[in-house]
Amino acid sequence: MLDLAHVVLHLGLCQAIGRAPATTTLAIRVRLADHTGRATVEKLYRVARGDDPQAVIEFDSAFGIYRLDVEVPKYRCSATDYLFFIAGANRTITEQLHDAPAPPPPQPMLLSGTAPQSFLYVQPTFVLFDKRAAACDKPIPEALPSNIVVENDQDGYYAWLYPEPSTVAGSPAQLALRLRTTTHQYHYVRIPVPYPVPWGGWPQSIQFNVTQDMVDDLAGKPVNTLLCPKLWRTSAG
């Protein structure tokens, strides 16, 4: 049996809660469900409002993709997201509670993986290029508009790739990992996955694990060039 992931959830408070006295006790419903709708976490947390703009909740989850729904019924605040958990990894997540009416649920593609602690120092992020203009070992073209959110933890990273209308409507895009060098320039590494991916009611999840050897191997490689190392491979999450 795979180890559980321990999750620390930071909830940004909505405006309605922000107006509540610091002595208020908040009743926060947290539901985590798999693709069948089966709840794996369903719990009511009671949290002191206090003076902090965030509430912190902790729970454990099994490996896989889940839909997170958080609700504070008294204040009509809620949040919805899709998350991927790596077995045995600790994960810190930040979500924002929205005042009613809440925005529609997101439709992201999820990208995540294990990574050494040194990965944090190269400031990893992801960019998109027009696939027709991007070629291995050639200078990178201009980046496309994108809506990509990355969270880095001590032993892994997690990215949400949200649809960007101008990108979705155009030609296929090439996803690349951008890493900062010691000279404050950037390496760009091709991520071999199709993008964009049509929404089918549940997010596609790609696992892309990074090792220290993979990061070290980039030393001396050309900057501002689309690098395509053969050992950098993805798998379905």
Task: Based on the fold, state whether residues 76 and 119 are members of the same structural domain.
Answer: no
Contact 154/117 with Cβ under 8 angstroms? yes
Q: Report the range of poorest mean pLDDT among 1-5, 12-16, 138-142, 184-188.
A: 1-5
- Type and span of the H or E element at 179: strand 173-180
Comparing CA positions, the residue from 90, 84, 97, 107 lying closest to residue 11 is 97
The answer as to whether 22 is a domain residue is yes
CA nearest neighbour of 20 among 100, 77, 93, 94: 77
Whole-structure pTM value: 0.89
pLDDT digits (tens, 9 = 90+) for 19-64: 999 999 999 999 999 999 999 999 999 999 999 999 999 999 999 9
For residues 95 and 115, state if they share a domain.
no
Q: What is the residue range of 13's domain?
A: 5-99
Residues 188 and 208 in one domain: yes
Q: Which residues contact 134 (CB under 8 A, 6 or more apart)?
A: 140, 141, 174, 176, 190, 226
Whether residue 104 is contained in a domain is answered as: no
d(CA 107, CA 8): 23
pLDDT digits (tens, 9 = 90+) for 104-117: 888 999 999 999 88
Whether 132 maps to a domain, the answer reads yes
CATH code for the domain of 34: 2.60.40.1120
